[in-house]
């Protein structure tokens, strides 16, 4: 039986107050809080193991290397990737997408080729492709969304064509909560000869991922949205692609041999990991994965779904409040607007009540344009949120109403 109060005790920050009120942290889609196990893992690394990796012959270097490579194995297992060489550590999902766009994209795309993304993408899965299109003359095409915030049925199939080289799609929308049918998209893309990159930044903390079963070519996520540290993320790529791709950045660790005439590159995954990586971050991410797996993603999803159902019910009884993003089966994100009150004002008033939500465009300006909104307010739930906190959110929204509309 999942005990949310026992769970909360594992997160030190949840005990603090904000403006004299208990913290109600509902900005989990931006970043999640960190359990003691993750904080301790980083601390332990710095207190006992800190050294540079893959170099020294001394004991600490070996221990640090083992800790870092152990984290890679945890990621491989977490994503069900066939080989550890297919797991590249990056600074986050954003850098992982940029790596693919830069390395795979510039080596493979030519003028007239097409990249297909969706209207609900985060800027991180838009701008790297725009830069690539500018550099190569490729064309960016966009799968539209409907009023629910789901992909328009049939639109993907009609945009997918013989010139489509890559499809970049988010598994879960950060602004709307929509869960996309990525398995179907991957199958159809492959049939059309296109590769698929799945942006898993919002997905990994909510649903189990199996990159082998999905058969995606690339999968990216960030550690900090998975209860892990900031500054560490992952690119999974099929080995056959990664082997052929040129390095993204040059530097230490990614080389085999350097002379001024010619440099040969290291093998996978190190070819894509130039410079000293965020070793402590990787160790912390490994601890975060252990933590999430010990709870179980099915348990987490069930808990969050119950909170979303409760929040959606309270929202539907709140006059003047409109939920943005109503796709069936969506993840635990409640984006909304309130008639007569700008989201930014909602955010400030909620903050004064200790309730932390996100307000703004959520790095998804095209989604805002779609709904003709400058911004939305967004509450996003995680495994440590409680039904009482959902009630606190709506109590605070009543306060907004009182201040602004009465």
220's enclosing H/E stretch is: strand 218-222
Give the nearer residue to other proteins in terms of CB position, either 200 or 347: 347
Q: Please confirm, yes or no, whether 133 is among the known catalytic residues.
A: no
Catalytic residue among 140, 363, 368, 373: 363
Report the half-sphere exposure of 4 (CA within 13 A, side-chain side).
17
List the end-to-end C-alpha distance of the chain, in Å, as a whole number: 43
Q: How far apart are CA 156 and CA 185, in angstroms?
A: 8
Q: How many CB atoms lie within 10 A of CB 275?
A: 11
Residues in contact with 404: Cβ distance below 8 Å, sequence separation at least 6, in sequence order: 340, 341, 345
3-state class (DSSP) for residue 226: helix
Nearest distance in Å: CB 353, other proteins: 9
Omega of the bond leading into 66 within 30 degrees of 0 (cis): no
| CA triple 394-398-404, angle to 5 deg | 140
- Rounded to a whole number of angstroms, the minimum distance from the CB of residue 347 to other proteins is 8
Distances (CA, A) of 216 to 108, 152, 162, 222: 18, 22, 19, 17
Q: For other proteins, which is the closer residue by CB, 155 or 368?
A: 368
CB of 25 to other proteins, least distance (A): 16
**What's the closest the beta carbon of residue 17 comes to other proteins, in angstroms?**
11
How far CA 288 is from CA of 84, 152, 293, in Å, comes to 18, 35, 8
Residue 376 Cβ vs other proteins, minimum distance, rounded to whole Å: 9
* Residue placing its CB nearer to other proteins in the complex, 81 or 375: 375
State the SS3 of 176-192.
Answer: CCCECCHHHHHHHHHHC
Shortest distance in whole angstroms from residue 71 CB to other proteins: 34
Q: Which tokens in the block code for residue 1?
A: 């039986």
Pick 277 or 343: Cβ nearer other proteins? 343
Q: Please give the backbone phi and psi of residue 132, each rounded to the nearest 5 degrees, phi first.
A: -65, -40
* Short-list 208, 213, 186, CA closest to 198: 186
Which positions lie near other proteins, rule CB under 8 A? 19-20, 341-345, 347-349, 351-352, 359-361, 365, 368, 373-375, 403-404
CB nearer to other proteins: pick between 265 and 404:
404
C-alpha Rg value of the chain to the nearest Å: 22
* Closer residue to other proteins, CB minimum distance, 227 or 371: 371
Q: Reduce the DSSP state of residue 143 to 3 states and report it.
A: strand
Strand, coil or helix: what is 347? helix
Q: Compare residues 182 and 350 and give the one whose CB is closer to other proteins.
A: 350
* Token code pair at residue 267: 């093998």
Q: Which is nearer to other proteins, 326 or 352 (CB)?
A: 352
149 DSSP 8-state letter: S
Give the CA distances from residue 194 to residues 116, 162, 184, 368, in Å, rounded to whole numbers and listed in that order. 10, 8, 13, 29
Who contacts 350 (Cβ-Cβ below 8 Å, separation ≥6)? 356, 357, 377, 393, 396, 397, 400
Q: How far is the CB of 299 from other proteins (least distance, A)?
A: 35
- Residues serving a catalytic function are 363
């Amino acid at each position: 039986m999942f005990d949310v109060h026992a769970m909360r005790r594992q997160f030190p920050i949840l005990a603090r107050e904000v403006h004299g009120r208990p913290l109600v942290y509902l900005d989990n889609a931006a970043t999640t809080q960190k359990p003691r196990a993750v904080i301790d893992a980083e601390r332990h690394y710095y207190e006992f193991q800190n050294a540079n990796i893959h170099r020294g012959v001394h004991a600490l270097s070996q221990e640090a290397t083992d800790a870092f490579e152990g984290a890679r194995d945890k990621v491989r297992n977490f994503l069900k990737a066939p080989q550890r060489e297919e797991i590249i550590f990056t600074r986050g999902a954003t850098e992982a997408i940029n790596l693919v766009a830069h390395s795979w994209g510039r080596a493979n795309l030519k003028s007239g080729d097409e990249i297909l993304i969706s209207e609900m993408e985060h800027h991180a899965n838009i701008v790297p492709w725009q830069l690539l299109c500018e550099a190569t003359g490729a064309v960016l095409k966009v799968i539209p969304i409907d009023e629910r915030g789901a992909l328009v049925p049939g639109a993907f199939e009609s945009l997918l064509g013989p010139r489509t080289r890559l499809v970049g799609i988010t598994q879960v929308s950060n602004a709307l909560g929509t869960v996309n049918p990525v398995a179907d998209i991957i199958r159809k893309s492959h049939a059309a000869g296109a590769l698929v990159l799945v942006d898993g930044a919002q997905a990994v903390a909510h649903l189990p991922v199996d990159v082998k079963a999905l058969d995606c070519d690339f999968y990216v996520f960030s550690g900090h949205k998975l209860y892990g540290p900031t500054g560490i993320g992952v690119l999974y790529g099929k080995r056959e692609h990664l082997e052929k791709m040129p390095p993204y950045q040059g530097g230490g660790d990614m080389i085999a041999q350097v002379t001024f005439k010619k440099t040969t590159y290291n093998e996978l995954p190190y070819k894509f990991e130039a410079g000293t990586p965020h070793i402590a971050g990787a160790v912390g991410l490994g601890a975060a994965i252990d933590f999430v797996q010990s709870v179980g993603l099915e348990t987490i999803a069930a808990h969050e779904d119950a909170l979303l159902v409760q929040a959606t019910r309270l929202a539907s009884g709140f006059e003047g409040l409109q939920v943005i993003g109503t796709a069936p089966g969506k993840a635990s994100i409640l984006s909304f607007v309130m008639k007569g009150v700008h989201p930014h004002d909602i955010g400030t008033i909620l903050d004064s009540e200790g309730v932390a939500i996100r307000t703004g465009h959520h790095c998804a300006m095209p989604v805002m344009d779609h709904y003709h909104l400058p911004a939305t307010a967004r509450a996003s739930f995680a495994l440590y949120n409680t039904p009482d906190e959902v009630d606190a959110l709506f109590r605070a929204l009543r306060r907004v109403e009182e201040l602004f509309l009465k």
